[in-house]
Amino acid sequence: MKVVNVAIAVLAGLIVLLGYFFNSSGLHELRSPLLDWAVTLSGIAGLVAILNLVFGVHLKRLRENHPRKGSSVVILISFAVTLLAGIFLGPADEGFQKLVTHVQVPIESSLMAVLAITLVFAALKILQRHRNWMGFVFFLSVILFLVLNSGVLAFTSEVPFLRDILSSLHQIPVAGARGILLGIALGSLATGIRVIIGSDRPYNG
């Protein structure tokens, strides 16, 4: 059975990959349904995972009398209300959209604010965690670009020398990001190829 799983995965991967490179109608005919199935399966997988979260985790906590079952009760009620509203009202309904914009956005925005404070507090101890050149350079670059992006150095635009320096400084993160992204892209490529040729089989448990 494992051999069949691997064969299906390899074959599907090859069809999609080759369909991207070669403009063949036959490959396109094979590729399109596979991609559609992939999108549908992703949605179903998401639904299964959500149902597991609701019933397998939070409902289980209620049954087992978990100490934090109170939050599970809130989650279950919220889930039920949102689900029923979405089914009966529809996603375009103004009332349903208010559920998102007036509940989820404030909650996540608050979390974002907490995150900002936490990040600032954590950044105070950068040099404690990374006592090396990498940490020191990171520390300096954080401060430099915070100041640059704040706009307080706007007066330098009238000084050509400083203007050029600041302009080149703005290019540094771009260059550094490009280098990292190249490495990440190569790693992604190799990982994907390993899955396509069947060397990595995360689906074959």
Residues numbered 69 to 88 that lie near other proteins (CB under 8 A) are none
Please, what is the minimum distance in Å from the beta carbon of residue 79 to other proteins? 11
State which of residues 8, 74, 101, 162 lies at the interface with other proteins (CB under 8 A).
Answer: 101
- Complex with other proteins: residue 84 or 175, whichever CB lies closer: 175
Name the CA radius of gyration of the chain, rounded: 26
Binding mask 151-180 for other proteins (x = CB under 8 A): xx-xx-xx--------------xx--xxxx
- Complex with other proteins: residue 88 or 155, whichever CB lies closer: 155
3-state secondary structure 36-69: HHHHHHHHHHHHHHHHHHHHHHHHHHHHHCCCCH
Q: Which 8-state DSSP code applies to residue 153? A: G
Q: What is the rounded distance in angstroms from the CA atom of residue 109 to the CA atom of residue 107?
A: 5
95 near other proteins, rule: CB under 8 A: no
Q: What is the rounded distance in angstroms from the CA atom of residue 196 to the CA atom of residue 92?
A: 40
State which of residues 125, 133, 160, 161 lies at the interface with other proteins (CB under 8 A).
Answer: 125
